[in-house]
Amino acid sequence: MPAGELNVKIMKFKSKKYSIPSENNFIDCIKMSFAELTFSKKYKIVTEKNDENSCKIEYLNSIIGRRIEFINQNHPCDYGFSIFIYNTYNNIKDDSICFCNIPFENQNKDNDCNFINKLSKMFFKEMDSIISGVEWKNNLKTIHQF
């Protein structure tokens, strides 16, 4: 499906609560915006989950020891959209970097993935050496909090 035809619905409102759509719109938007992970960075998609309370897509590059999770979650509270990068080569539990966190209230609701597209450009510019396995930055926690 061409990018221009993608009708993305990030969230739906239901009686003062919102839910993540049953369609794979969120997953499709991540796949399109972060396609470089599979094409040039040699990551493989290992997990895709999409239900009413959360969406998750997980990429793995076992050669360089990196795992990247894209999560949009609203239950049990509004965790929002986050990107986590994990170093899978060391033995440190939860050795991760949170590239960003955007609570739902701060996400644009214009159904076209603008916030995800913008984040992908920042992500590849700022995290290239980390997602390529060249370096790992210890003690680097949340980089962008929106």
Quote the pLDDT of residue 15.
Answer: 35
Measured distance CA(78)–CA(62) in Å, rounded: 31
Closest CA to 26 of 45, 42, 7, 4: 7
pLDDT, tens only, 58-88 = 999 999 999 999 998 877 777 888 999 999 9
pLDDT, tens digit, 9 for 90 and up, residues 30-58: 999 999 999 999 999 999 998 877 889 99
Banded model confidence at residue 23, pLDDT cuts 50, 70, 90: low
Q: What's the rounded mean pLDDT across residues 124-140?
A: 90
Model-wide pTM > 0.85? no
What is d(CA 109, CA 131) in angstroms, rounded to the nearest whole number?
Answer: 29
Distance (Å, rounded) from C-alpha 8 to C-alpha 38? 21
CA distances from 47 to 60, 101, 125 (A): 9, 20, 24
- For the chain, the domains span 17-145
Highest mean pLDDT among 7-21, 80-94, 116-130: 116-130
